[in-house]
Structure formats: structure tokens, C-alpha cells
Structure 1
Amino acid sequence: MDFSERIKYEWNKSDNTLMRIVMINVVLYLLFAVIIIVAKFGNLPALSEFAVKAFYLPPSLPELAFRPWTLITYGFTHSLGDIFHILFNMLILYWFGSIIVSEIGSNRLLGLYIWGILAGAVAFLMLYNLVPFFIQLRSSTLGLIGASAGVYAVVAAAGTLLPNMKMNLFLIGEVSLKWIAIGYVALSFVSLAGFNAGGNMAHLGGALIGYLFIIQYKKGNDWSKPVVSFVTFFQNLFKRKPKMKARRGGSAASNEEYNQQKQARAKKSTEEQNQIDDILDKISASGYESLTQKEKQILFQASKK
């Protein structure tokens, strides 16, 4: 299985929201980089302006009225000035997102991340439209970009959901999740005095919604439902619907037979998926060469589907 096939397989795996969010961030970051590089080398300022308008959340409400999609797109890519920005964001998202998924599921991680992005956007816009000092800086501010608000939501949610769970930190040792989350919030609060006040305000907005998300979840209110419903609706718009075949003279017996066949196909698909997962785990542990010829053939057939 080559690299592109492995990526396709990872994307199509069921219950794989965390990796999909990471993959979207990486792909959009690379796309953004390509557009900016082509614009600079080709002396195409209009193309560069297009990339900014497509991804950056503007600080001005009138501008936002013409670019409403940036309320979401800003949180799925990163600026090109600091590659460590996307690197650390994706690592932290993966570590803490794995905790969220294992405890409350992939759908709630998706809702949490999207709510974090939206809360970060609202906090950023409030800063640049309500605080006089920052209102004066709107014209010189490019806008907001980066997944940090969504990541902060996930970190704060993990710290609220499992406050006493320990995580090993480099050079520090075991630290409870609640203290890691509090440390993140404190760092962004202090950094409001720095040059990236807008970004840090977005961090705090994301962290707040992450905390409230879990508080409401513990009360039985699942804030992820509207987000998941919207995303599912959007996905279904682009799915190819299977053609319906007319079945004349149907009977109770034929309907029962049809249902049995359908269940058998679903069972077979699940078994095949489990078999492929076991093979990939074997590759991770011992390398591709450790596979038997039959296992290699199974992977090859799976990559063609």
C-alpha cells in the first residue's frame, strides 16, 4: 500500500474524526502555502489577496459580512510564518483529542472542536469591535488564522472531564490534566498584553466553550448534536445515491431473504475491516516485510476498493 493509498484508507476509516481534523488542517496548510508561493513568484497580488480572504477571519464586522465562511475556515489552516504553530497545534490536538474520543466519542470531539473555533471567532471579534484600543488597530490587522481556539477547547474539555488524569510532560513528569488546562489558560491570559492579543483572546474563547461543553454534557445536554447534524447533512449532499431497483411481486419471504442478505453483507464488511486493521497494526509493530503473502494480497485488494 503506497502513501496515497494509505492516506485514502486512513480517511475512510470509520469513527476517525480526530485524524480527519488533523488531515484537513495539514492539507489546507499546504494548499495555502502553494497559493502564496505561486502568488509571490508569479507576481500575482490578486491571488495572494484571494488566499487571505478565503482563510483569514477579518477583524471588521462589515468585512465579515462579505466573508462569513471565514468563521470556520480560519480554524482549519495556519499562517506560513511559523511552521511550529501547526506542528504543536496538531500534536496537542491529537494527544488531548484522543482522550476526548476514548471517553465521549468522535462525534462529540467534532462538535467540541467546531464550537471552539466559533467561540474563538466571537472572542476575537468582540476584542476588535468593542475595545477602543483595538478598534484603532483594525485597519492594520490582517485577521485571525489557526486551529488554536479549537485546540484550546479540546484541552479545556479534557481537563474538565478528567481533571485528575495524569499526563507525562517532558522534563516535568506526571501532571494532572486540570493543571495543564489551567496553565494553558493562564499563559494566554498573560499574553493578552503581547503582540498577538487577538489570537490569545480567541484561545480564551475556545477554552471557555470547552469547559462549558463538558459541564453541559455532564448535565445531559449534548452540544455536539447540531454540529454533527449539520455536517452529516452537508456530507449527504455530495454522496452518490444508489439506484433503486424495482422489485415486483414482493412477498414477506422475499423481504426476509433480502434483509438476511443485507445483514450478511454488513457482517462481512465489518470482518474485513477488522482484518485490515489487524494487518496495519502488524505493520506498525514489525514492518511491512513481516506480512505473509496472503496478508499483502488482502491489503492490495483493499487499496483497490
Structure 2
Amino acid sequence: MELRDRLQYEWSKSNNVVMRIIMINVAVYLLFATIVIISKFGGFPALQDFAIKALYLPADFMDVLYRPWTLITHAFTHSLGDTLHIIFNMLIFYWFGNIVVSEAGSNRLLGVYVWGIFAGATAFLMLYNLVPYFIAFKPHMAGAIGASAAVDAVVVAAATLLPNTKMRLLFFGEVSLKWIALAVVLMSFVSLAGGNAGGNMAHLGGALMGYLFVVQYRKGNDWSKPVVSFVTFFQNIFKRKPKMKAYRGGSAASDEAYNQQKQARAKKSTEEQNTIDEILDKISASGYESLTQKEKQILFQASKK
């Protein structure tokens, strides 16, 4: 119960794009792992094949036309055979994503991340459909997965926004963001000669998008707007709409009663907000675990409104 409340609290916090994206990645990872485990232990190989086709980005353009949703789903799916894949992606995203948020806001981070996904997918598809050497490998590929292209977009965006800001790295000490981003790009470029050329091509596509996004943002062109508009529209579909209340004007006595009820509701709302603010201040000072069960319940109920 406490874990659910904590997750509910983290998700419901406003402008918390970093944690929401991480939570979606982890949820999809666990769902994918569950499907594969059921498939193997239950002897349903077709179930695993279905999951792979539903989530992986195919290398063939024609397959993408039949599975267009994979342009997004592949970026929230990670390899089950390499747990470090999702761990490192989410850690790097957390560090650099918060830098982007602090400098440009949550909407810009969401825009960089999503456009990084599409840029990475485009680079991957171009490699396996336009470069003769790689076209021969296309029939043997399951497809692309991983958030690395989007994460690299965020890394480069952070470095473009604050190139001289330093980050302390293990074994290296303080290093400027511009050098970290350059190292990320160079490693992906050199790795094009290795066995994961498609993945590294996607990384480079994402990195390029991160740079272009910030350049355009500084010129006054906010590429995050269509992304935010789409996400907001999608959220509103599932958001519970408040019930409409009709009010019919009447006598002076009924008008006075209505105004008194309205004032009472406003007073109650103010008191509830003050209570929530006190709870949030307590979390900031002493952490979530310092809350009493009653305070956790108040916070949970408030998040549902």
C-alpha cells in the first residue's frame, strides 16, 4: 500500500516529466519481462513473438507501415538480457534530464525526448533501407529497442544549453557537459564499425536532434509545442470530467443561502490546501517516510482529485 501511494504521489506531482518517463520505461520493461517469462515457462513461444513484434521497431520500412506504433514503443522497451541497458539509460536520463528542466522547463524536456525518439528511429531505418551493405542484414533483424537515442538527445541538449557547466564523474572528477556530450557522440560514431551499427546510428540521430532542438529553441522556435499539445489531448481523453451542476436563480433568501454555501466550500478548499502544503513541506524537510498514515492518506486522496 505504501509503495503504491508513493508511486501515485510521484506520478501526480506537477511538471514531473523526468520521473514519469522513468516510471513508464520501468513499467514497460517489467511488462515485457512478464510476457517473456509466461511465454517460456508456459510453453507459448507465439506469445513472446507477438510481444517482440508489438514493441520492437522493425528494420524494414514496409513493416513499419503495418506497425506504426513501434516508432514510439521501441523507445520504452529494453533488452531483458542486459539489465544494465535500462539502468544506465534511466540514470543518465535522470541526471541530464533535470539539467534540461532547470534551464528550459519540463515541456522542453518532453519535446527533446520525443523528438529524439523519432530522430533515432529515422536514422535506424535509413541505415537499413538506404545503405547497400546493411540492406542484406535487414531480414535477419528482430528490430530496434531502447531509449538510448532519446537519452542521447537529452544529453546533447543539456550540453548545448549549459556547455561549461561541470558534472562530477567517477574516476574523472569534474568534467564540462560539452566534453561529456562529445564523448557520447564519438563513442557512438566509432561503434558504427561494430555489431550494433543500427543502434549506434540511432544514437547519433538522437544526439543531432538534441542539438538542433536547443538551437531552434534559442531562436524562438519551440519544437516541444506539438508534442505537449498531443500529450495534453491524450491525457484529457482519460481525465474524469467534473459533473455539471445547474443553479436556478430564485429569491433573495435562496441567493443568500447559495452564497453562504459557496463561501463555505471556498474556506474548506483553502484549509485543505494549507494542510497539503504543510505535508509537502514535511516531505521536503524529512522525507516521505516521516509522514503519518493519516497524512499519507490525505496526500493520496488529494492526488486523485
TM over 0.5: yes
Q: CA deviation at 1:3?
A: 1.0
- Runs (4+) of structure 1 moved beyond 4 Å? 253-270
Is 1:228 the counterpart of 2:225? The answer is no
> Which whole-Å CA distance do the structure 1 matches of 2:160 and 2:57 have between them?
28
Letter in 1 for 2:205: G
Answer with 112-121 or 259-268: which moved more.
259-268
> Which whole-Å CA distance do the structure 2 matches of 1:107 and 1:128 have between them?
32
> Which whole-Å CA distance do the structure 1 matches of 2:58 and 2:45 have between them?
18
Is 1:30 the counterpart of 2:30? The answer is yes
- Once the two structures are superposed, residues 9-36 of structure 1 have per-residue CA deviations (whole angstroms, 9 ceiling, x without a partner) of 1111111111000000001000000001
Matching residue within 271, 277, 282 for 1:279: 282
Q: Does the CA contact (< 8 Å) of 2:124 and 2:202 recur in 1?
A: yes
> Which whole-Å CA distance do the structure 2 matches of 1:186 and 1:69 have between them?
30
Matching residue within 273, 279, 297 for 1:300: 297
Aligned length: 298
2:185 is matched with which residue?
185
2:112 is matched with which residue?
112
Q: CA deviation at 1:8?
A: 1.1
2:66 is matched with which residue?
66
- Once the two structures are superposed, residues 173-223 of structure 1 have per-residue CA deviations (whole angstroms, 9 ceiling, x without a partner) of 010000000100000000000001010000000000000000011111100
Aligned CA distance change for structure 1 residues 302 and 220 (closer, same or farther; 3 Å): same
Letter in 1 for 2:230: F
> Which whole-Å CA distance do the structure 1 matches of 2:234 and 2:300 have between them?
26
SS at match of 1:163: coil
TM-score for both structures, normalised by structure 2? 0.91
- Once the two structures are superposed, residues 87-112 of structure 1 have per-residue CA deviations (whole angstroms, 9 ceiling, x without a partner) of 00000000000111111111111111
SS at match of 2:78: coil
Percent identity (aligned): 61
1:172 is matched with which residue?
172
1:2 is matched with which residue?
2
2:121 is matched with which residue?
121
1:13 is matched with which residue?
13
> Which whole-Å CA distance do the structure 1 matches of 2:76 and 2:230 have between them?
17
1:239 is matched with which residue?
239
Q: CA deviation at 1:2?
A: 1.1
Aligned CA distance change for structure 1 residues 139 and 262 (closer, same or farther; 3 Å): farther
SS at match of 1:248: coil
Letter in 2 for 1:277: L
